[in-house]
């Protein structure tokens, strides 16, 4: 029994490490965009963060399914705290004067790691709201449906979570107080919907990972999910 518990703990530690890897890398490197395809004259671009954000919500669902809501909420709280202290440390690191040896690289360093306070706040709020929303929706669906239709519970909770993550971030980061409401909404929906669509696709792609993750954690236990 002890061996089984230790094995599950070791596996959960690995998933936690992967969870925080996705959060930190998305925060540090997610600002880069890349071209995807041209859609009726509209050049659709994506952020590298779309490859990471859906996995965060998938791990949320795995932990909620296996360990319960409280464990998932603790993980989400820790993720918000990590993003917060990472922002503070980035501000301190950029503010410190460079040594003579590092001076030639200072400008590049600031370009890579500096973010406006507004962008950082947008990211922090978006990840906090979307994480807890994902956990809440998934847990409520589980109470209603039991262990049935894991694919439905996972994708519905993720679909809502990535929408609010995208909507909150884009609105806080890019809403302009100097333009009209109509102009703002036209611009915002023009970037929110494509990003939500791309994140949704990645969420669907990650669905088998949720099944595998749950079965992997419960390898020595019988996990029944016969009614898909």
What DSSP character marks residue 21? H
SS3 content of the chain, % helix, strand, coil (to 5): 75, 5, 20
Query: Is the pLDDT reported for residue 115 higher than 70?
Result: no
pLDDT tens column, 143-155: 999 888 899 999 9
pLDDT in the model for residue 7: 76
Q: Domain for residue 87, yes or no? A: yes
Domain range enclosing 192: 2-29+47-217
* Percent of the chain topping pLDDT 90: 46
pLDDT in the model for residue 193: 86
Q: Domain for residue 222, yes or no? A: no
> CA-CA distance, 100 to 95, in Å (whole number)?
15
Structure token digits, residue 91: 């501000």
Pick 224 or 135 by higher pLDDT: 135
pLDDT tens column, 165-213: 999 998 998 888 888 988 888 888 888 888 898 889 988 999 999 999 9
Q: Domain for residue 39, yes or no? A: no
pLDDT in the model for residue 98: 93
pTM, whole model, 2 decimals? Answer: 0.82
Structure token digits, residue 12: 């959960």
Q: Domain for residue 225, yes or no? A: no
> CA-CA distance, 64 to 84, in Å (whole number)?
24
Query: Is the pLDDT reported for residue 36 higher than 80?
Result: no
Q: Domain for residue 57, yes or no? A: yes
Q: Domain for residue 24, yes or no? A: yes
Q: Domain for residue 94, yes or no? A: yes
> CA-CA distance, 65 to 79, in Å (whole number)?
19
Contacts of 185 (CB under 8 A, 6+ apart): none
pLDDT in the model for residue 32: 80
Q: Domain for residue 40, yes or no? A: no
Q: Tell me the average pLDDT across 97-102.
A: 93
Query: Could you tell me how many residues make up the chain?
Result: 228
Q: Give the count of domains, the chain.
A: 1
> CA-CA distance, 54 to 73, in Å (whole number)?
17
pLDDT tens column, 41-52: 666 777 888 888
């Amino acid at each position: 029994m002890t061996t089984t518990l230790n094995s599950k703990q070791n596996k959960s530690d690995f998933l936690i490490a992967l969870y925080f890897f996705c959060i930190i890398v998305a925060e540090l490197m997610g600002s880069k965009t890349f071209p995807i395809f041209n859609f009726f004259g509209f050049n659709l671009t994506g952020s590298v963060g779309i490859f990471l954000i859906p996995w965060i919500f998938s791990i949320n669902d795995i932990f909620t399914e296996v360990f319960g809501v409280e464990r998932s909420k603790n993980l989400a709280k820790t993720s918000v705290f990590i993003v917060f202290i990472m922002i503070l440390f980035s501000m301190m690191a950029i503010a410190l004067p460079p040594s003579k040896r590092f001076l030639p690289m200072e400008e590049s360093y600031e370009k890579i790691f500096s973010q406006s306070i507004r962008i950082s706040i947008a990211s922090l709020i978006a990840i906090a709201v979307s994480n807890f929303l994902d956990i809440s929706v998934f847990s409520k669906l589980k109470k209603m449906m039991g262990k049935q239709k894991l694919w439905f519970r996972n994708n519905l909770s993720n679909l809502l979570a990535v929408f609010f993550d995208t909507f909150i971030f884009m609105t806080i980061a890019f809403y302009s107080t100097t333009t009209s409401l109509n102009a703002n909404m036209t611009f915002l929906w023009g970037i929110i919907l494509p990003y939500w669509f791309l994140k949704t696709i990645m969420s669907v792609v990650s669905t088998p990972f949720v099944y595998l993750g749950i079965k992997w954690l419960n390898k020595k236990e019988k996990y029944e999910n016969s009614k898909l």
